[in-house]
Amino acid sequence: MQLHYGFDELKEIDFMAFIPMLLPFLAIGALLVLIALIDLYRHRTTRKSVLLWTCIILFVHTLGPILYFVLGRKDDVKL
């Protein structure tokens, strides 16, 4: 039983076989980012830290938009 794999074994893996399994996750992540950025743009006058939320949405993949929808939308200032 081999417990350690080297770089030679990586050459034998067909990474193209994983693409159909990864595409739904990538599409959902991109859609979440897009929806979060649109919502942030529409409510930019009532949000307190737009630049910070933009960076979180863009650079913390998939978790950033979820955090924005859970925590960031509570930044609303009710007039």
14 domain residue, yes or no: no
Residue pointed to by tokens 């950033």:
64
13 domain residue, yes or no: no
Q: What is the pLDDT of residue 79?
A: 46
Number of domain units in the chain: 1
Question: Which residues form the domain of 43?
Answer: 32-79
pLDDT digits (tens, 9 = 90+) for 11-62: 787 888 888 999 999 999 999 999 999 999 998 888 888 999 999 999 998 8
Q: What is the pLDDT of residue 72?
A: 83
Q: What is the pLDDT of residue 56?
A: 93
37 domain residue, yes or no: yes
Q: What is the pLDDT of residue 71?
A: 87
75 domain residue, yes or no: yes
pTM, two decimal places: 0.71
**CB-based contact 36:63 (threshold 8 Å):** no
